[in-house]
Amino acid sequence: MKKVILIFGDQLSLDITSLQGIDQKNDLVLMIEAADEFSLPRHHKQKIALIVSAMRHFADLLRQKGFNVEYLHLNDQNNSGIFSEELYKAVKLHQVEQLILTEPSEFRMWEMTQKWKADLKIPIEIREDERYICSKTDFATWAAGRKTLRMEHFYHQMRHLTGYLMEDDKPEGGSWNYDAQNRKTALSDIARPEQLSFNPDQITTNVITLVEKFFKNHFGTLEHFNWAVDRNGALLALEHFIMKRLPLFGDYQDLMRSGDETLFHSLISPYLNLGLLQPDEVCEVALQAYEAGLAPLNCVEGFIRQIIGWREYVRGVYWLKMPAYKDSNFLDAQRALPNFFWTGKTELNCLAEVISGTAKNAYAHHIQRLMITGNFALLAGIKPAEVEEWYLIVYADAFEWVELPNTHGMVLYADGGLLASKPYAASAAYINRMSDYCKSCQYKPREKTGPGACPFNYLYWDFLLGNEHKLKANPRMGLVYKMLKRMTEKEQARIRRDAETFLESLSKSKQY
C-alpha cells in the first residue's frame, strides 16, 4: 500500500506520531508551503519566514535520516498556493492509497481534514498529537462539571501529575506560585544579557528574499530577523535562557522597558509551538538549573507555570470549547481596531513602543500583550474578532490554539469569566509602576481627566461605568466599584466626556 505521511508546518519533530512506524524505503513524507496558509490572515513577514525556513530545514533533516520527502515550495512553478488543492494533486500523482497525519493544532485545519475524507475517498488515519503533557481527553475529564475553568486549579493538577517542584503531595517551598516576588521594577544596577544572535544561513536568506517578494504588503519587517530555524538552534536558545536569563526571569517577568522587548524572557515559545522543542524537556532543564542552585525557586516556578500551566491549559480550553468559543462577546465590544495597531503611530508612548517593537521583532512579552495592547483593546471596547486576528498575525509564536483563548478570555474577557476570574483592566497607574513608558509620553499618568490626562485613566473608569451592570456582582471587582461610587456625578460626567471624545477620534483614523 502506497502511504503518504503529511507533515504540517508546526509539526517539525522527529517524534511526531505521524512518523511512527514509517517504512522509510516505500512511504513518502509530504510537506507543502501554501500561500493561502500565510495570507488568510496576512501574517507578519518574520512569522512566515520562520515557519518556512524551519520547514525547509526539517525536510533536510528528514532526508539526512533516510526518509523519502516530497516538498512543495512557495515559488514552485505549478504551486496554486492552496493547501488542499496541492494535497489532492500529490495524492493523485503518487497514486496514494492511504494518508497518515498527526491531528492539526487548529480547528480550521481540523475541519479541512474532515473535508479531505470526503473528497479523497482513500483511508485517512489521523493520529493523536502526543507533544503535549495533558491530552484533550484528560483535560475534558478535568473540566467536566466545572462552571469556570480556572488555570490555577488545573496547574495544581499538572504539578501533581508531573511531579515538578513537588515534595510528596506539597508544593516545593510551601507555595504553588511566587508571583508576589515577581514584580520588581528597579533595573539600574543589573546587567541584562544580550539576546542570542542567529545569523541567517543560505536557506533562511533565500526564504527571507522569497517572503519579501510574495508577502511584501504584510505587517512587519524582515530586517531584524533573528530566530533559530532548526532544533539545534532552538536548543541553543533554551540553553542561553537557562544560563543567562532564568536566574532573574521571575523577578522581572512583569517589567516593561523602552527599547528592550526581551528583558529576561525566554523567546522559546515559537520553537515549542513549531515542535522544535518539547514542553517536558524544557521544564526538566529548568528544574536541573534549580536543583544545581543556578536559578531560584520563584524564577523556575514562574517559568514552569507558563509551560505546564498556561500553555497546556489554553490548548485544553480551545479544543473543549471550539468552535462556538470564539463567537462570544460578553461585554458587547463593537469598536473597530484602530489604525495605529498597524502603524504604531500614536501619541500614547506605551502603545507606540510595544507596537513598533512587535513590527520589528514579531514579538512582545506577555505583560506587554496583556496590559498594554490588550488592556487598551479591552478598555476601548474593540471587537474581539478584530483583536484576535491582530494577535494571530503579529506574533511569531501565535497559532490559533494558543492565541485565541489567551486573547478572547484572558485579555478581552469576551467569554464572561469562563477563563479569567475578572477583566484584566488597569489605569495608567499600573503602566507607570511597571514600565518607564510614561516618562517619555505627553500624557500625565496621575491625571484622571482633562487634556493632559492619560487616556488609560478615563477609559478605565468609563469602562467600569459602562459595564457596571455586568461586572459589579463580581467579587473581585467590589473594591473598585466602591471607589467608583464615591465619585461625584460631575467627576463621572467628565470621565464620560473625555472617553467619548477620545474614542470618537479612533474611528476617524484611516484603516489598514
Q: Could you read off the pLDDT of 108-147 as tens digits, one per residue? A: 999 999 999 999 989 999 999 999 999 999 999 999 999 8
Strand duo 166-167 + 170-171: pairing: antiparallel
Is residue 358 assigned to a domain?
A: yes
Which of 127, 149, 184 terminates a domain? The answer is 127
Residues 96 and 196 in one domain: no
The answer on pLDDT for 323 being more than 70 is yes
**164 and 78 in one domain?**
no
CA distance linking residue 362 with residue 273, whole number of Å: 15
Q: State whether 300 and 390 are in the same domain.
A: no
Residue labelled with grid coordinates 484584566: 424
**pLDDT value, residue 426:** 97
Give the model confidence (pLDDT) of 190-202 as tens digits.
Answer: 777 888 999 999 9
Read off the pLDDT band of 512 (50, 70, 90).
very low
326 assigned to some structural domain:
no
Name the average pLDDT for the chain.
Answer: 95
Domain-located, residue 100? yes
- Written in H, E and C, the secondary structure of 171-212 is EHHHCCCCHHHCCCCCCCCCCCCCCCCCCCCHHHHHHHHHHH
Distance CA 44, CA 359 (A): 8
- Split into its structural domains, the chain has a count of 3
Kindly state whether residues 37 and 121 are assigned to the same domain: yes
Same-domain status, 77 and 188? no
What DSSP designation does 6 have? E
Q: Are residues 112 and 143 in the same domain?
A: no
Q: What is the pLDDT of residues 267-317, one digit of tens each?
A: 999 999 999 999 999 999 999 999 999 999 999 999 999 999 999 999 999
Residue 488 has pLDDT above 60, yes or no: yes
CA distances from residue 438 to 350, 354, 456, 505 in whole angstroms, order as listed? 7, 13, 11, 21
pLDDT, one tens digit per residue, over 87-105 is 999 999 999 999 999 999 9
Beta bridge partner(s), residue 260: 257
Q: Which among 259, 293, 321 is the end of a domain?
A: 321
**Distance (Å, rounded) from C-alpha 222 to C-alpha 49?**
8
CATH number of the domain enclosing 71: 3.40.50.620
Residues 123 and 5: their CA atoms lie apart, in Å, by 12
Which alpha helices (DSSP H) does 22-106 contain, by range?
36-39, 45-64, 83-93
Q: Which of 75, 46, 71, 51 lies closest to 60 in space, CA to CA?
A: 71
For the cut 60, the answer to whether the pLDDT of residue 510 exceeds it is no
Q: What is the largest CA-CA distance in the chain?
A: 79
Minimum mean pLDDT range among 15-19, 367-371, 503-507: 503-507
Q: Rounded distance, CA 421 to CA 511, Å?
A: 33
Distance between CA 128 and CA 421 in Å, rounded? Answer: 31
Pair (69, 25) in one structural domain: yes
Judged against a pLDDT cut of 60, whether residue 498 lies above it is answered with: yes
User: Is a pLDDT exceeding 90 seen at residue 179?
Assistant: no
Residue 228 in any domain: the answer is yes
- The 3-class SS string of 36-50 reads HHHHCCCCCHHHHHH
CA separation for the pair 280, 276 (Å, rounded): 12
Between CA 382 and CA 332 the distance in angstroms is 9
Residue from 157, 165, 111, 152 nearest 138 by CA = 157
The residue range of the domain holding 456 is 340-507
Task: Tell which of 101, 127, 153 closes a domain.
Answer: 127
In-domain check, residue 152: yes
Q: What DSSP string runs through 430-470?
A: HHHHHBSGGGG-SSBTT--SSTTB-HHHHHHHHHHHHTHHH
Domain co-membership, 95 together with 155: no
Helices 202-214, 45-64: axis angle to 10 degrees equals 140
Residue 195 lies in a domain: yes
Lookup result for grid cell 509620553: 441
- CA–CA separation, 270 vs 254, rounded Å? 20
Please tell me the total number of residues recorded for the chain in this structure. Answer: 512
Do 117 and 230 share a structural domain?
Answer: no
- Cα 366 to chain centroid, rounded: 8
Asked whether residue 379 falls in the same domain as residue 432, the answer is yes
Average pLDDT rounded to a whole number, residues 19-48: 95
Residues forming beta bridges with residue 126, ordered by sequence position = 101
Number of CB atoms found within 10 A of residue 283's CB: 20
Are 131 and 107 in contact, with CB atoms under 8 Å apart? no
Same domain, yes or no, for 379 and 487?
yes
The pLDDT value recorded for residue 389 is 98
Q: Is residue 329 part of a domain?
A: no
List the one residue out of 464, 461, 459 whose CA is nearest residue 503: 459
The verdict on 190 and 49 lying in the same domain is: no
Report d(CA 82, CA 33) in Å as an integer.
Answer: 9
- Residue 415 Cα to chain centre, angstroms: 18
- Determine, yes or no, domain membership for 38: yes
pLDDT digits (tens, 9 = 90+) for 441-487: 999 999 999 999 999 999 999 999 999 999 999 999 999 999 999 99
Residue 402 belongs to a domain with what CATH number? 1.10.579.10
List the beta bridge partners of residue 106: none
